[in-house]
Amino acid sequence: MASELQQLRFDPPQSNASDESSARDDRPLLNPDSGAVADQDSDDIHLKYAPFSRRDAYGTMGRGELPWMEKVLLGMALITIVPIRVVFGMSLLFLYYMICRICTLLYDPNRETDEQEDYAHMVGWRRSVIVWSGRFVSRAMLFVLGFYWISEVNRIPPNENKSTNENEGQENSQESERPGVIISNHVSYLDILYHMSSSFPSFVAKRSVAKLPLVGIISKCLGCVYVQRESKTTESKGVSGVVSERIREAVKNSSAPMMMLFPEGTTTNGEYLLPFKTGAFLSKAPVLPLILRYPYQRFSLAWESMAGGRHFLLLLCQFVNHLEVIRLPVYVPSQEEKDDPKLYASNIRRFMAKEGNMLLSDIGLPEKRVYLAALNGIPRQC
């Protein structure tokens, strides 16, 4: 494993003011038109950024040369199932929008800050309708997109099957520890639909999502915590505080929505786990780990290096899509992990990698941006 991590480690370019090599290098790493290599072998680049590399029939950016049979299947899908899926998908989205609009009519949203307002804390029939209709519509949306069945596996620890008096007290104490946050690996935008259909949690989203047509009111009903992701101001501390407070509230109150966080901070091809950010672990609360997989034969549903529009169109063209979910037991942190969020995050990450048979990588979003720039032929700057 150490050698694999060494291969994936990102070495930033060294600069020296007194060396000619410090001059700007405008040569692209890859030529996006021909795929020719400008500075190093293409295979080495994809190996270095392996967590973001696509290996399906459509190529790295979805522009690979396809066999004639694949082209025939795409043509058939474009004139048959794609229009049907678009119509039914938009109908479901509009239906749920209307449900949220009616349920929130004349109801004041919860306001934690000037930038954070949500309807996730409402009670009574309004909240019940929003949650259960949201779970149903999300699952129906997945069905429309070709996920006709979803494989879910629950990993039960061996000691939970024991019923001896010796460990009854320990089991009861663990059952009293309710998780306040769900953490998951991040593979695709489809992850959100699955989690909505499964537990209808709150997410962290860009602030602009709250202003989107149709989706904006839905995100507020989910109780999303909005953040300006490119901002490096003290706002990030405020967001972390809101998230931690929400997690602690969910632990104490079973009717409060759980938080759903992707601690990697970006998507991968599903074979790797990137370093975890500590935001999900600052509250010191138990977490519920989940692992998502999207098995494929022709087109990978992982969204890491392909344009969003192209990816969604190819998703619509695939007749059947597959999703496998591994539910791990609730992880209750030790006192040492509570005192050290980085240790807590690291232990959870290794636990998920072991249970999901995934590799650990020490690169992250900055390296992903370098990789995408290389794929698009953007000149390097040294």
pLDDT (mean) for 249-269? 91
For residue 336, name the pLDDT band (cuts at 50, 70, 90): very high
In this model, does residue 353 exceed pLDDT 50?
yes
For residue 173, name the pLDDT band (cuts at 50, 70, 90): very low
Residues 6+ apart with CB under 8 A from 173: none
**Percentages of the chain per state (helix, strand, coil), in multiples of 5:** 45, 10, 45
Residues 6+ apart with CB under 8 A from 261: 181, 182, 183, 184, 203, 204, 243, 279, 280
pLDDT of residue 284: 92
pLDDT (mean) for 160-175? 46
Which of the two residues, 209 and 237, has the higher pLDDT score?
Answer: 209
pLDDT of residue 41: 53
For residue 379, name the pLDDT band (cuts at 50, 70, 90): low
Q: 18-75 pLDDT, tens per residue?
A: 343 333 334 444 444 444 444 445 667 878 889 998 888 888 887 878 888 888 989 9
Of 14-18, 204-208, 242-246, the poorest mean pLDDT is in 14-18
Whether the CB-CB separation of 130 and 96 falls below 8 Å is answered with no
Is 324 in a helix, a strand, or coil? Answer: strand
pLDDT of residue 237: 52
pLDDT of residue 56: 87
Is 369 in a helix, a strand, or coil? Answer: helix
**37-51, 128-142, 151-165: which has the highest mean pLDDT?**
128-142
Residue at token pair 């929003």: 130
Q: 67-97 pLDDT, tens per residue?
A: 888 889 899 999 999 999 999 999 999 999 9
pLDDT (mean) for 348-353? 96
pLDDT of residue 323: 97
pLDDT of residue 37: 41
What is the identity of the amino acid at 217? Answer: I
**Reported pTM:** 0.81
